[in-house]
Homo-oligomer: A and B are copies of this chain.
Amino acid sequence: MRLSESKIKTKKRIEIEEESKGLAYLLRANFIEKLTSGVYNYLPFGLRVIRKIEKIVREEMERIGGQEILMAALHPKSLWEQTNRWEAFDALFKVQSRYGQWYGLGPTHEEVVTPLAKNFIFSYRDLPLYLYQIQTKFRDEPRPKGGLMRTKEFLMKDLYSFHTDEKDLDWYYEKVKKAYLKVYKRCGLKPIITEASGGTFSKFSHEFQVLTEKGEDTIFLCANCGFSRNKEIMEGKKCPVCGKKIESYSAAEVGNIFKLKDKYSRSLDLKYIDQNGEEKYVLMGCYGIGISRLLSVISEVLSDSKGLVFPEEIAPYHYIILPLYTGRRDTDKKITKFSEEIYQLLKDHQKEVVFDDRKNVSIGEKFNDVDLMGIFYRLVISEKTLSKKRIEVKKRNSPNLKYLSKNELINLKK
Which of A118-126, A195-203, A234-242, A339-347 makes up part of the contact surface? A118-126
In the complex, A352 has a CB within 8 A of chain B: no
- Min Cβ gap A86→B in Å is 14
In the complex, A165 has a CB within 8 A of chain B: no
CA distance A39 to B221 in the complex (A): 45
Lowest 9 CB-CB distances: which A-B pairs, in order? A42-B70, A95-B95, A36-B76, A44-B67, A39-B72, A41-B71, A39-B74, A7-B126, A7-B120
* Given contacts A95-B93, A116-B33, A126-B7, A44 and B72 within 8 Å (CB-CB): no
- Min Cβ gap A376→B in Å is 20
* Given contacts A99-B140, A136-B136, A41 and B125 within 8 Å (CB-CB): no
Q: Per DSSP, are chain A's interface residues mostly helix, strand or loop, or mixed?
A: mixed
In the complex, A152 has a CB within 8 A of chain B: yes
B residues near A70, Cβ cutoff 8 Å: 41-42, 47, 50
Contact between B125 and A360, CB atoms less than 8 A apart: yes
CA distance A70 to B47 in the complex (A): 7
- Residues of A95-147 at the interface with B, using a CB-CB cut-off of 8 Å, are 95, 97-99, 101, 105, 112, 116, 119-121, 125-127, 129, 131, 136, 138, 140, 142
Contact between B97 and A95, CB atoms less than 8 A apart: no
In the complex, A75 has a CB within 8 A of chain B: yes
Residues 26-70 of A, flagged 1 when their CB comes within 8 A of B and 0 if not, give: 000010010111011111100100100000000000000101111
CA distance A333 to B352 in the complex (A): 48
CA distance A9 to B118 in the complex (A): 11
- Min Cβ gap A237→B in Å is 37
Contact between A136 and B73, CB atoms less than 8 A apart: yes
Contact between B8 and A67, CB atoms less than 8 A apart: yes
Question: Who on chain B is nearest to A37 by CB?
Answer: B101
B residues near A35, Cβ cutoff 8 Å: 71-72, 74-76, 112
CA distance A254 to B155 in the complex (A): 27
Contact between A153 and B74, CB atoms less than 8 A apart: yes
Contact between B67 and A6, CB atoms less than 8 A apart: yes
* Given contacts A9-B120, A36-B76, A69 and B93 within 8 Å (CB-CB): no
In the complex, A178 has a CB within 8 A of chain B: no
Question: Who on chain B is nearest to A130 by CB?
Answer: B7
B residues near A126, Cβ cutoff 8 Å: 7, 9
* Given contacts A7-B120, A8-B67, A142 and B41 within 8 Å (CB-CB): no
CA distance A153 to B8 in the complex (A): 31
B residues near A37, Cβ cutoff 8 Å: 101
In the complex, A5 has a CB within 8 A of chain B: yes
B residues near A42, Cβ cutoff 8 Å: 69-71
- Min Cβ gap A412→B in Å is 25
Question: Who on chain B is nearest to A38 by CB?
Answer: B74
Q: A6-B67, A47-B70, A73-B136 given. 6 additional CB < 8 A pairs?
A: A7-B127, A8-B120, A9-B119, A35-B72, A98-B140, A136-B136
Contact for A68 among B11, B44, B69, CB less than 8 A: B44
* Given contacts A33-B119, A93-B95, A140-B97, A72 and B7 within 8 Å (CB-CB): no
